[in-house]
C-alpha cells in the first residue's frame, strides 16, 4: 500500500470515531517525520510506502489510512532531550541566543524549551546555572534546522 496523503490527525476525531476502529501504529524517529518518501512497517508487520504529495512534515497522531474498521496512525519514538526551564525572561533570552549561535533547533512546550541532547549544551547550561533536566520524551514534530547563512 502506498500512502500519498495524511487523512487527518487523531486530535480531529471524536472519541467514538477512534474507539470503533482497530488501530495499527507506525513508529518513527522524530527525524523521519520530515521524510516525504519512506518505507515503514506497522506494529502489526504490515509494510507501507509513504510518498506524500504535499511538502508537509508528518506529526504524531497523523492518520495515514482509515476505513470503517481500521486505521494506521503515526507515533513517534522517544528522543533523548534536554528540557530547559528558565526562571526568567533574561535566562530564556540568554540561552536562546547561545543555542541560536549554535544553530540548534528547539521546540517549546508550555514554559519549557526542548533541544536534542548534546553534552556541550548540557555543560553550557551547568556553567550558566540555568535549570534543566535530561529526559526521554516523545515530541509531536521533527526538530527542524532553519536554513541560514551568515554570508548574506
pLDDT at residue 102, as a whole number? 87
127 three-class SS = helix
State the CATH number of the domain containing residue 129: 3.30.70.790
Q: Would you say residue 132 lies in a domain?
A: yes
CA angle 32, 59, 70 (to 5 degrees): 105
- Whether the per-residue pLDDT at 99 is higher than 70: the answer is yes
Considering the domain architecture, whether residues 117 and 101 belong to the same structural domain is answered as yes
**Please, which residues have CB within 8 angstroms of residue 68's CB and are 6 or more apart in sequence?**
21
CA distance 79 to 47: 24
Considering the domain architecture, whether residues 6 and 58 belong to the same structural domain is answered as yes
**Cell output for 73:** 496512525
Last-in-domain residue among 76, 94, 129? 76
Last-in-domain residue among 76, 92, 110? 76
pLDDT digits (tens, 9 = 90+) for 117-140: 999 999 999 999 999 999 999 887
pLDDT at residue 74, as a whole number? 95
Q: Which residues of 75-88 are buried (b: 16+ CB within 10 A; e: fewer)?
A: ebeebebbebebee
Which of 36-45, 94-103, 135-144 is the least confident region? 135-144
Q: Would you say residue 11 lies in a domain?
A: yes
pLDDT at residue 41, as a whole number? 94
Considering the domain architecture, whether residues 118 and 103 belong to the same structural domain is answered as yes
Considering the domain architecture, whether residues 61 and 102 belong to the same structural domain is answered as no
State the CATH number of the domain containing residue 65: 2.60.260.20
147 three-class SS = coil
Considering the domain architecture, whether residues 43 and 90 belong to the same structural domain is answered as no
- Domain, as residue range, for 47: 2-76
Q: How many domains does the chain have?
A: 2
Q: Tell me the sheet residues that pair with 50.
A: 3, 38
DSSP state at residue 42 = -
Q: pLDDT-derived band of residue 43, with 50, 70 and 90 as boundaries?
A: very high
Q: Would you say residue 148 lies in a domain?
A: no
Q: Would you say residue 149 lies in a domain?
A: no
Q: pLDDT-derived band of residue 151, with 50, 70 and 90 as boundaries?
A: very low
Which of 29-38, 132-141, 142-151 is the least confident region? 142-151
pLDDT at residue 152, as a whole number? 45
Amino acid at each position: 500500500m502506498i500512502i500519498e496523503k495524511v487523512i487527518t490527525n487523531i486530535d480531529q476525531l471524536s472519541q467514538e470515531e477512534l474507539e470503533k476502529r482497530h488501530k495499527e501504529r507506525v513508529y518513527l524517529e522524530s527525524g523521519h517525520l520530515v521524510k516525504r518518501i519512506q518505507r515503514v512497517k506497522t506494529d502489526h508487520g504490515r509494510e507501507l510506502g509513504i510518498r506524500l504529495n504535499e511538502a508537509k512534515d508528518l506529526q504524531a497522531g497523523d492518520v495515514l489510512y482509515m476505513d470503517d474498521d481500521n486505521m494506521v496512525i503515526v507515533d513517534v519514538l522517544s528522543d533523548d532531550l534536554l528540557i530547559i526551564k528558565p526562571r526568567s525572561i533574561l535566562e530564556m533570552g540568554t540561552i536562546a541566543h547561545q543555542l541560536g549561535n549554535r544553530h540548534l533547533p528547539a521546540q517549546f512546550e508550555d514554559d519549557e524549551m526542548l533541544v536534542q541532547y548534546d553534552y556541550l549544551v548540557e555543560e553550557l547550561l551547568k556553567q550558566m546555572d540555568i535549570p534543566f533536566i535530561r529526559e526521554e520524551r516523545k515530541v509531536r514534530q521533527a526538530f527542524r534546522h532553519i536554513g541560514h547563512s551568515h554570508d548574506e
